[in-house]
A and B are shown apart, each in its own frame.
Chain A
Amino acid sequence: MRPIVWFLILLLLVLHQDNWFWEDQTLVFGFMPIALFYHAGVSVVAGILWFLATQFCWPANLDEEENVHSESTSRT
């Protein structure tokens, strides 16, 4: 799953370029310029992908680090 998530994040960076709506004047829902609507969508997808990254790509050794830290904090 880890390589898939990183691939999707890379893909999102490529899709961010958005050459296809470059000169499109459409107003989505009658009020939202499509260039703005598309990039708002990019933001939402970014949130979803980063959620997946925190679930599947989180560094494993950090749990040990946290345990060590919480022990030292509780000692002080």
Chain B
Amino acid sequence: MTSLIIVSVYLALLLGLGLFSSRLFRGTSKDYMLASHSIGPLLLLMSLFGTTMTAFALVGSTGEAFKEGVSVYGMLASSSGIIHSLCFFLLGVKLWGFGHRYGYKTQIQFFRDRLESDKIGLLLFPVLVGLVIPYLLIGVMASGGVINGMTQGKVVEGNVVNGTFEEGTFPAFLEQGSQGFSKDGSRGGVPRPIASFVICLVVLLYVFFGGMRGTAWANTFQTCVFMVLGIVAFWVIANNLGERAIRADQEANGVSNDTADTTVQQASLLEKISAVSANIPTERLTRSHIPKLKFFTYLLVPLSVGMFPHLFQHWLTARRASSFKLAIVAHPIFIMIVWVPCVLIGVWATTGLIHIPPPVQANPNIVLPFMVKSLAGPVLGGFLTAGILAAIMSSLDSQFLCIGTMFTEDVVVHYGGKGRFSDKQVVLLARLFIIAIVAVTYGFSLFEPRRVFTLGVWCFSGFSSLFPLIFASLYWRRLTKLGSYACVGAAVVSWITLFWKSDFARNADYTFDLVLGGMTYQMMPVAAMFTSSLTALILVSLVTRPPSEKTLAKFFS
């Protein structure tokens, strides 16, 4: 119950921050959606980092390290450090310039102008929204899992013991989970659907009232929280597991309990974590089980940030171009600070120094909350849960706001006519759409959960396959309207085909296999998607009419 109280207080604080920031709201749609381009270097760094580091980074990385070993860091973290900053540098800064000059609020507004095509909006809108929703789902599902994991008890001989709630507190279908969406039951904790609902509600409220300014402030606050608490979690888990490892060594050597206690007390942190790491199974230490080409093609996955619509919106909030510099430099370092401890915790969970029960083994998403709960006390556990939730919510807010903005700007205002709505009505519409998208996402989250990491990689792969479009629109004068249609079409068709072949992400190890000269080359599906969209973009652009001189002068002068 202590953990739950701490988490509740944290959520209340966050709400307070969002509501406070709404007092600075200037009442215009530009302020609601872009914070009136007022975000400086530090807030921009924190909001960009908080937005890109989602449940995928904390819960997903620990879970994947538990399943696959330390390779997960090279596959996504170090590559992201290089490529995210590359996108901020090559795309973000340039798009910021166009956004300021021509008043864009969404990606689609930019593409409509650059490609001289109104219909590109109709084509891109469902694709972008369709890809953001699984990304949102990752956060909503993970938040439910984390809160439930932290508050549940243990099942002993068919009965739940040490749960936060007595049996019968919640409706039976939530507690037992024999039917419907809560397959594993709540085990005396907050049922996942209720936990996810509360998180959705909190994020909805501060986005609803605070808009982009509230989101940026909340992101900054939450990024500080999850970075600091992440380090604390690592320290506590390292100490606790280290003591167990040294004690196990001493017992194996037949040392008496008193001597073992003395050795444990005198051991430094380095000695403790060395004792833990000595127990990591060999297969978790290396990448021997990963094909080299598959590892290489993982490099394409972080290109997704170039096409994230919510990052586009964050880029436009910058006060000036130089505000980007801090984010470009610090992003790789921040990724390291968050990911290295998470990956180590994930592989330490495989050492046998802590018993990982079968339900946790079967659901890697809850490895981190399980470790925190088992190795930290309830007070610290509560704070650490708040840290994990902070990482999750700092992405959800931007995504909710972005989809609300897209619905309002790219559909309603665009097709309804700019003069038809007052600025206040535009803000109201954005808020209503945000409520609708939260409701839809929450509804989807009640279905059978997938591994956060797997779902995330599929979602990012879809965005990565659209990367050629944004890059060419900024750096290739010859890109045409039909070339862009072909690019989006190829990306959609290849994504759907491969997603279907992976049994809709049920096959977490699915690869795109290319057979050449009797050899099979295993690649990430994103390689095939990216190649097909890039090829279609180039070939069709070269054989169709180039953009007008007026447009080229507007974007390339």
Q: How far is the CB of A21 from chain B (nearest CB, A)?
A: 8
Q: Which residues of B contact A4 (CB under 8 A)?
A: none
- Check B78 against A43 for contact (C-beta < 8 Å): yes
Q: Give the residue of A29, A39, A54 whose beta carbon is less than 8 angstroms from that of B74.
A: A39
- Check A70 against B273 for contact (C-beta < 8 Å): no
Shortest Cβ distance from B337 into A: residue:
A43
- Check B344 against A16 for contact (C-beta < 8 Å): no
Report the count of interface residues on B (CB-CB < 8 A).
51
Stretch at the interface among B179-187, B280-288, B413-421: B280-288
CA A47 to CA B277, docked complex, whole Å: 27
Report the count of interface residues on A (CB-CB < 8 A).
40
- Check B277 against A42 for contact (C-beta < 8 Å): no
- Check A23 against B286 for contact (C-beta < 8 Å): yes
Query: Is A50 part of the contact surface with B, judged by Cβ < 8 Å?
Result: yes
Query: Is B332 part of the contact surface with A, judged by Cβ < 8 Å?
Result: yes
Q: Give the residue of B82, B101, B347 whose beta carbon is less than 8 angstroms from that of A33.
A: B347
Q: Given A30-B277, A70-B320, does the pair A62, B97 have CB atoms closer than 8 Å? A: yes
Query: Is B321 part of the contact surface with A, judged by Cβ < 8 Å?
Result: yes
- Check B336 against A43 for contact (C-beta < 8 Å): yes
CA A38 to CA B343, docked complex, whole Å: 14
Q: Give the residue of A19, A42, A57 whose beta carbon is less than 8 angstroms from that of B82.
A: A42
Q: Which residues of A contact B344 (CB under 8 A)?
A: 32, 36
Stretch at the interface among B4-12, B14-22, B85-93, B193-201: B85-93
Q: Which residues of B contact A18 (CB under 8 A)?
A: 74
Question: What are the 7 A-B residue pairs with the smallest beta carbon separation, nearest first?
Answer: A30-B274, A46-B332, A43-B336, A39-B78, A62-B321, A31-B277, A42-B78
A-B contact pairs, 14 of them (CB 8 A): A16-B74, A17-B295, A19-B292, A22-B287, A22-B292, A31-B274, A33-B70, A36-B344, A42-B78, A43-B78, A65-B97, A65-B101, A69-B37, A69-B320
Show the binding face of A for B, using Cβ within 8 Å.
9, 12-13, 16-19, 22-25, 27, 29-33, 35-36, 38-40, 42-44, 46-47, 50-51, 53-54, 57-59, 62, 65-66, 69-70, 73
